[in-house]
Every structure is written in structure tokens, then in C-alpha cells.
Structure 1
Amino acid sequence: MLSIVEAAGWPIWPLIACSIAALAIILERLTTLRTAKVIPPRLLEEAITVSVASLPAPDTIDKLERNSPLGTVLAAGFRAARRPRASMESLREDLENSGRTVMHKLERYLNALGTVASAAPLLGLLGTVVGLIEIFGSQTGTSTNPTLLAHGISVALYNTAFGLIIAVPSLMFYRYFRGRVDDFGIELEQAARRLATHLQPQVEAAARTLS
């Protein structure tokens, strides 16, 4: 591996940095964007069951918020319902704001991964251009320096190949994570609607009591 890096020349170092960044992001997102971690099974059903008779206590809502991204959205709905003079409009608004915040967190680092996928081939092309410059630089009059010629070819080919090796899996994982985040967004939206429908009788009853 060291011999390949030496043969590829200095243009390989930005590509190595991109590969490290892409690998770190992919591993982090694979850990974070798990269904059981984002939308735990039965969490919505348990939250609805617990709040059939009355709204959960504040400490229970705090625990729910720390549970998962879905728990964060549900906790926002319960807090909105517990506020004095709560209304369905304010409840839905709080659910939407919480959902946007959660989605922003789920999309973390994806732009960076997409940037690596786009930049890696360009950095590989830069290495190719540098290699070609060295190839032309090996021409001295009527003679050719075979060492410089071989080095220029190595720089050109290794950087092109390494750029593609980084770009292809980075792009694949970027698309994969984007799809998962979009799916999670739909599920979170559906859960928020179910919670709003479930809390509507309690919110309206509290409003009638205050009026």
C-alpha cells in the first residue's frame, strides 16, 4: 500500500483524506440510521396507550424525548397538549417544528458524504493532469527519461482509479442514506398525525373547561 501511495505522488493525499472522511461518515450513519434507533417498534402504541386516560407527567415526557427521534416528536406533542389554553393548531405547529428539527439531525453529514462522492473523481482527474504534466516533462529534446515517464504514468493512473474507488461507494451510500431519511420522514409524519388525532379530544375538552 505504501508503494502505491509513493507511486501515486502527492495528489493521492487529498483522496486519502476523502476516503477517511467518507468511511467515518458511512460508519456513523449506519449506526445512527437504524430503524430500531430512530423509530422504535411499539413506541407510538405505548405512548397512545399511556395517554388514553390522561396526559403523561413532565418527567415521563422528558424520558420519551430522550428515547429516540420518534420520541422527540411525540414528546413535543404531549408538551403542546399540556400547555394552558392549548389548541389543535398550536399542537400541530409544535409537531411540525419538532419534526423538522429531527429531520435536520437525521440528515447530518449527508451533504458532506455527497460532497466527497462528487469531489473524489475531480481530485482523481487532478492527479491525472499532474501525471500527464510529468509525462510531458520527461521529454527532453529528442530523448525520454524512462523513470520520469513511468512515474508520470503511475500518478495519472493511480489517482484516477483511487478517485473512482472512493466516489462509487460514497455515492451509493449517499443515495441509500437519503432514501432511509425520506422513509423515516414519512413514518414520523404519520406518527405525528396519529398522535394529534389521539390528543384532539383531550385538547378540545381542556379548552371547553377553560372557556
Structure 2
Amino acid sequence: MFTTAIEFFQNGGFYMYPIAFVLALGIAIAIERFIVLTRERVRNRQIWQDLQPALNAGDFRKAHEIATRSQAALGRMVAYGLTRVGAGRRAEDIELALEEGLMEILPRLEKRTGYLGMFANIATLLGLLGTIIGLISAFAAVANANPAEKANLLSQSIAVAMNTTAFGLIAAIPLLILFSYLQSRTTEIVDSLEMAAVKFTNMIRKVQMEREVAQTAQAARQPAGTAPRA
């Protein structure tokens, strides 16, 4: 099989090399994106486990320190929201801050993934171009050949020219599969960030409501004419 693959590649002509380069570059980008997205997913899960106790306890300062130190996308997004907490801001302001953080993170998650779809199209077009150039050369070569040998030479030349189309499709199909897979992984991370933003907002609202209820109860317990404690 290895010998057959080498002969197939050598018989394809010049355009086999740019197709191979596009395939190798696409695979390298896919590996890099897979590592980044997998690492981001693990980091987001870990930072959320670290943030939950502080958020549930209403210790926003500690939560902000944890989020600021983290390199996870979720940590950066939560840090945006925590900067609006405790400054008399409304819940809508916190949600806008979370959306701002998400909009900053999204391009980093989608970085270079779109190239895979482009490389798949380039590989297919290079294969077709190589076949057309090969057919032109084949017809030009048999134009002055012996009539008895024309059919044999033409069939051999066409078979060689079709190698580039086959290799272009061989390169394009896995690139498209990798493109779709990485897009789905990116969508999963974005969905998890949006879900975490909703949970974070609900936690903030719950803590703020509990504090307001506690302050109201404390003010109700104060004797008449006594100033409430600071």
C-alpha cells in the first residue's frame, strides 16, 4: 500500500505538492485548535468549581481575585461582571458586562478554524486545475503521436491527470470533517459560557436580594428614633 501511494503521488504531477502542503497545513491548524479548545474546556470547568463557593457565599471580592488570576475564558468573562457588582449597578449592567466579555472571548475561540473550510475548497480546486492542465498536456502530446499508439497514450495520460482530482478530494474530505468537528466543539464552549453567565447573574441577584431582605429586617428591628447602624 505504501508503494502504491508513492506511485500515485509521483504520477500526479506538480499539483500534488501544493495539495499536500494545504493538507498538512490544515491538519496542523486542526491539531492546534483541538488542543486549545480542549484546554479551554477543562479550564472553564475548573474555574467554575472554584468560583461557585465564593459566589454562593456572597464573597465577591474573593471571586473577583479568583477570576482575575485565571487564564480561562470563563474567568475573564466573570471578571467583567464582577467589576459591576457592589457599585450600585443594576442586574442589567452586569448582564451587559458579561456580554461584553463574551464578545471579546468569542474571536479567540473561533481563531483559524475558518481556514479549514477554505483549505478544503482550495484542495478541491487545485485537484481540478491539475487535472485540466494534465489533460491539456495529454492531448498536446498525442497530437503528433503514431495513430496506433494514440489511444493507449491518451488513456495513460488521462489516468495520470485524474490523480490530482482524486488527491484533492482525499485532502478536502478530512479537512471538512475537522472543520465541522471543531465548529461543534467551539459552539459547545460558547453555549457553556452563556449558561455560566445566566447562572452567575442569578447568583448575584439571589445574594443581592438576601442582603436587601436582611437590611430591611435589621431596619425594622431598630427602635423608633434610633439611627440604623452603618
TM-score norm. by structure 2 comes to: 0.76
Letter in 1 for 2:190: G
Does the residue aligned with 1:56 lie in a helix, a strand or coil? Answer: helix
Which residue does the alignment assign to 1:75? Answer: 79
CA deviation string 1:103-140 (max 9, x = no partner):
22111111101101222111111111011111101123
Select 2:33's aligned residue among 29, 34, 42. 29
CA deviation string 1:53-103 (max 9, x = no partner):
321345433213x1x122222222222325x34332221111011112222
Matching of residue 186 in structure 1 with residue 194 in structure 2: no
1:203 shift after superposition: 5.8
Structure 2 stretches lacking a partner, 5+ long: 216-230
Equivalent-residue separation in structure 2 for 1:73 and 1:202 (angstroms):
19
1:166 shift after superposition: 0.7
Is the contact made by 1:133 and 1:152 (CA closer than 8 Å) also made in structure 2?
no
Letter in 2 for 1:60: I
Equivalent-residue separation in structure 2 for 1:13 and 1:185 (angstroms):
37
Is the contact made by 1:7 and 1:154 (CA closer than 8 Å) also made in structure 2?
no
Matching of residue 170 in structure 1 with residue 175 in structure 2: yes
TM-score norm. by structure 1 comes to: 0.82
Select 2:66's aligned residue among 53, 57, 60. 60
Letter in 2 for 1:92: E
Which residue does the alignment assign to 1:131? Answer: 134
The sequence identity of aligned pairs, in percent, is: 25
1:146 shift after superposition: 9.2
1:150 shift after superposition: 7.4
Does the residue aligned with 1:168 lie in a helix, a strand or coil? Answer: helix
Residue correspondence of structure 1 range 113-152 to structure 2 within 5 A: 113-141=116-144, 143=146, 149=154, 152=157
Letter in 2 for 1:80: R
**Structure 1 residues 183 and 42: CA distance shift in structure 2, 3 A:** same
Equivalent-residue separation in structure 1 for 2:124 and 2:152 (angstroms):
27
1:181 shift after superposition: 1.4
Select 2:164's aligned residue among 159, 164, 169. 159
RMSD: 2.9
Out of 108-117 and 12-21, give the one that drifted further. 12-21
Is the contact made by 1:135 and 1:153 (CA closer than 8 Å) also made in structure 2?
yes
Equivalent-residue separation in structure 1 for 2:156 and 2:82 (angstroms):
66
Out of 3-12 and 159-168, give the one that drifted further. 3-12
**Structure 1 residues 119 and 173: CA distance shift in structure 2, 3 A:** same
Equivalenced residue count is 204
Structure 1 stretches lacking a partner, 5+ long: none
Which residue does the alignment assign to 1:91? Answer: 94
1:23 shift after superposition: 0.8
